[in-house]
Structure 1
C-alpha cells in the first residue's frame, strides 16, 4: 500500500535542517555586506590611482568626480585640462562607474565631490591650491567595519581600516 505524507522522524529532520540554515543566514548576510564594502573601497582606490597615473602619462589634468555630487552614486574620470571640474563636450571620458549597492562614501573638505590631478600627478583644488583629505567608505549594515582612503598633498593614496561604522 502506498503511503502519502511523512513520518515523524522525517518531519523532525526537515525542521531541524531549516532551523540550522536559518541560524546561519545572518552570518552569510554580514559576510556579503563586508565583501561589498571591501570591493567598493578597493575599486575607488584603483580609480583614484588610475586617474593620477593617467594625468601623468597623458600630461594633462584629470578629474575623478562623484556622480551627482555623491560618491555613493559612483564616479566618473575625465580629462580636465583647465581644472574646471566639469566635463567639456570634447573631453575624453576614461571611466564611469555607477554603484548600485548600499555602500556609503563620504569625503571631507574639497574631496567631498571631486579629486583633480595635475599633469605632474599632484592633487589640486579648483582654485589651484593643493588638495588633500580623505574618503570614508562604510555601510549602515556593517556596524564594525569601514575603510578610509587618505590622499596626501603629494598625490599618495593610502588605505586605513576603521573599527567603526558610518559616522
Structure 2
C-alpha cells in the first residue's frame, strides 16, 4: 500500500507578520474611538444623575406641598449633594440649609469621580430650591466637565451644560454649531468648566 503523507503547514513568518500588522492598524483606529465613546457615556451618566435629582426634587416639592432643596454637601457640587424637604424656614440661617432635627432628608448623592467638575452659575452657587408649585427659585445652569487634563476648559465631547428654566425644568444644553461643546445663551460656546456658564 502506498500511503501519502500530508504535510502540515503552519504559518510562515511573513504571514504572521502581516497578521500582526493588520491587527495593529485596526487597534490604532479602534481603541481611541472606543475610549472616547466610553468617556462620553460616563459624562452622559453623570449629567443624567443630576437631571434625575433635579426632576425628583421638583416632583417631591409638588407632591409634599413644601419647598424641596438640593444643596451641595462640600465646597463644590462635584463633592456631592443632598435633597431635603426644607420644613424649618423659621430663620434666614435655617432657610435652604439642612437641619437634621427638623428637615426631612430624601436623598444623598455621592461625589463625582475625581476628574469631574460640576459648577452652578451665580444663581445656583450653593443650592437650588423648588417651591410647591414646581417652580425653581431662579433660572440658571450647571457646567459638568470631564476634566482629566486639569485645564478647566471644555474640550469636544468632555462637557455638558444642564440648564434649569423658571418652571424648574432641567435640560441638556444644545450644540447647534456641531463642535461638540455645549452652548450657553446666545449660542456662545461654553468657555470654562469652573466659572459661571451664564
4+ aligned runs moved over 4 Å, structure 1: none
Where structure 2 has 5 or more consecutive residues not aligned to the other structure, the ranges are: 1-11, 90-94, 149-153, 182-189, 193-198
SS at match of 1:115: strand
Residue 97 of structure 2 corresponds to 85
Distance in 2 (CA, whole Å) between partners of 1:112 and 1:104 is 13
Residue 66 of structure 1 corresponds to 72
| Higher strand proportion | 1
Q: Which has the higher Rg, Structure 1 or Structure 2?
A: 2
Residue 3 of structure 1 corresponds to none
- Normalised to the residue count of structure 1, the TM-score between the two structures is 0.78
| Cα offsets for 1:29-50 (capped at 9, x unmatched) | 1111111111211221111011
Residue 42 of structure 2 corresponds to 36
Distance in 1 (CA, whole Å) between partners of 2:156 and 2:20 is 35
Where structure 1 has 5 or more consecutive residues not aligned to the other structure, the ranges are: 1-5, 125-130
Distance in 1 (CA, whole Å) between partners of 2:146 and 2:171 is 20
Alignment of 1:113-152 (within 5 A): 113-124=126-137, 131-140=138-147, 143-145=155-157, 146-152=159-165
CA spacing shift, 1:64–1:84, aligned 2, 3 Å: closer
Is the CA contact (8 Å cut-off) linking 1:150 and 1:158 kept in structure 2? yes
SS at match of 2:173: strand
Distance in 2 (CA, whole Å) between partners of 1:89 and 1:42 is 31
Structure 1 residue 113: Cα displacement? 2.3
